[in-house]
Amino acid sequence: MKAIISAMLTILLAVLTVSEAIACTRVVYKGPNGTVLTGRSMDFSMDIPANLWVFPQGMKRNGEVGKSSIEWTSKYGSLAASSWDIATPDGMNEKGLVANMLWLVSSQYPEFEKDGDKKGMSISMWAQYALDNFATVAEAVEEFAKEEFVIVTDFIPGTNKFTTVHLSLSDATGDNAILEYINGQLVIHHDPSYIVMTNDPKFEDQLAIGKYWESVPGKYFLPGSVNASDRYVRAQFFINAIPKTDNTRVAVAGVMSVIRNCSVPYGFELEGFPNLSTTQWRVVSDHKNLVYYFEHALTPNTFWVDMKKLDFSPKAKVRKLDLSNHQTYAGEASAHFKKSEPFKFQGL
């Protein structure tokens, strides 16, 4: 028995080493009568302060990578969660398109010359670009597939962490896409069935893992570790096992419970793995009703923002809901947003 336990621990540690234990989980729930919800956890090995931002239509942006930056004006308004107020890792726009960025250690991006001919955009803006420009996943996939610009990455300021992420998109129709850069090439996985995603491995391998576990009855056995592959299996089983309903209260509770099940306990540590991530915050986005639910690990309750109460018109001002000191908000929080200067996206 001791030999078996020792072998199992060895396998677990090996898997954690490969995935670098930087974790996130994302699921999409589809119920009757157009009920579509996307839930995700933001897991990171250090505190990753988040604020919520209201970005209106008509914002002029550039890719923040020098003279070769792409430029655009936001077509749609959005509600975005920031990381350190230098990037948008998560958000939903007024058309119900949701963008989530998750870590992917194996990402490799194309070469980029700051003053070259190829246009570029900072990775900090990847999700925001989608929210600004597209109403559906299909629109986004069609445009990204043209590869008229490249994603440009760099180290997170003040850290030794080189930013390597992939992007998931979901919309009000239940469509899904996963965008990754593998060996310097953009790979797009586009299918409504792609409702579960974790950080590692690359999505092609995640699908293979899911296929294998389809033969194992989840009601009898599920893998329980914090590594990405195990979280993928649990998320896939539970998001399909919870009741399918158009009762929003029940559906949101179900999706949030799945994300909590796949979260890493706050403060969890494993000796020899200093980069092990814990869940910092969780989000559930209601595509149909345009409601954004937010839960931080260090605050005592979940609050939500009804986007129908927000002004996304071109004349509107940027607004911010300050969460930097773990402020507590109860219930619907749209009235607590304050006018603010927009944050500057991190670039080169």
What amino acid positions are annotated as catalytic residues? Answer: 24
Polymer length in residues for the chain: 348
The encoded tokens of residue 107 equal: 């990402």
Q: Is residue 314 reached through a cis peptide bond, with omega within 30 degrees of 0 on the bond before it?
A: no
Distance CA(62)–CA(345), nearest Å, equals 10
Residue carrying structure tokens 């670098």: 20
Helix axes 228-241, 2-19, angle to 10 degrees: 90
Alpha helices in the chain (DSSP H): 2-19, 126-133, 137-144, 203-213, 228-241, 248-261
- Joined tokens for residue 256: 């949030």
Roughly how many angstroms between the first and final C-alpha of the chain, as a whole number?
Answer: 54
Of 135, 29, 121, 28, the closest CA to residue 78 belongs to 135
Q: How many CB atoms lie within 10 A of CB 116?
A: 12
Distances (CA, A) of 65 to 112, 127, 144, 289, 303: 10, 16, 18, 36, 35
Q: Which of 306, 286, 283, 279 is nearest to 294 (CA)?
A: 283
- Residue 106 phi/psi, 5° resolution? -80, 5
Cα separation, 106 vs 122, in Å, equals 18
